[in-house]
Amino acid sequence: MDAIIYNNKGEETGKKAKLSKEVFGIEPNEHAIYLDVKQFLAANRQGTHKSKERAEISGSTRKIKRQKGTGTARAGSIKSPVFRGGGRVFGPQPRDYDFKLNKKLKKLARKSAFSVKANEGQITVVEKFDFDAPKTKSFSNFLNNFEALNKKSILVLDEENKNLYLSSRNLQGVKTVTVSELNTYDLMRASKVFITDSVIGKIEEILK
């Protein structure tokens, strides 16, 4: 698969990049994508929810009324869940929602996501570029050159670039990541995926 390489002004450079069919041209596995996205979202849940059970409620431990002869049900503690202000039965407790996925399945999910985006024409290869200083307007102009302004976009770099990161972070729906930070969720939610020509080899090396 050949892809045209553009500069950051949206102009063709006359060069082409080869995209491996093993990464960008496979039959997408939708279930693998679903599982990887589900695992990513689950891992990002805080899981800090907590309610107090009867042993954790402040209150007297004395028996509040006699056992028999009251005409009502027996009660041994004001902290019982049947009373207002009592402890909660089987309430939520802090927990970790993350679950394990095999490495091969996660690779398949990412290859499937790249293939989906390639089939839909949402992958754009650009020359490696940088800004002289962090400036949101510069990144806005870059997106505007590709008609991607105000759209969910992701720029995949081969290494961290502080100027590009700082220039993009104030734009809603825009994300700048390195290859190691790339995940299926970000790929699938983006309507435009920008990858630099220098990062293609690393992506294929990781996912093959």
Q: What is the pLDDT of residue 41?
A: 97
Mean pLDDT of the chain: 93
51-54 long-range Cβ contacts below 8 angstroms, 24+ apart: 51/88, 51/91, 51/92, 51/93, 52/87, 52/88, 52/91, 53/87, 53/88, 53/89, 53/91, 54/79, 54/80, 54/81, 54/86, 54/87
Could you give the number of structural domains in the chain? 2
State the average pLDDT over residues 48-52. Answer: 94
42 and 55: one domain? no
Domain around 201: 2-46+97-207
pLDDT at 1 over 90: no
My answer on whether 58 and 151 are in the same domain is no
Do residues 23 and 107 both lie within one domain? yes
- What's the CA gap between 175 and 137, in Å, rounded? 15
pLDDT of residue 208: 82
Torsion of CA 200, 205, 206, 208, to 10 degrees: 110
- 3-class secondary-structure state, position 98: coil
CA separation, residue 125 to residues 55, 71, 120, 128, 131 (Å): 60, 80, 14, 9, 18
CA dihedral (92, 98, 101, 106) positive or negative: positive
| pLDDT score at 202 | 92
Q: Are residues 78 and 123 in the same domain?
A: no
Q: Single out the residue in 66, 91, 116 at which a domain terminates.
A: 91
Average pLDDT for residues 188-195, to the nearest whole number? 95
What does pTM read for this prediction?
Answer: 0.83
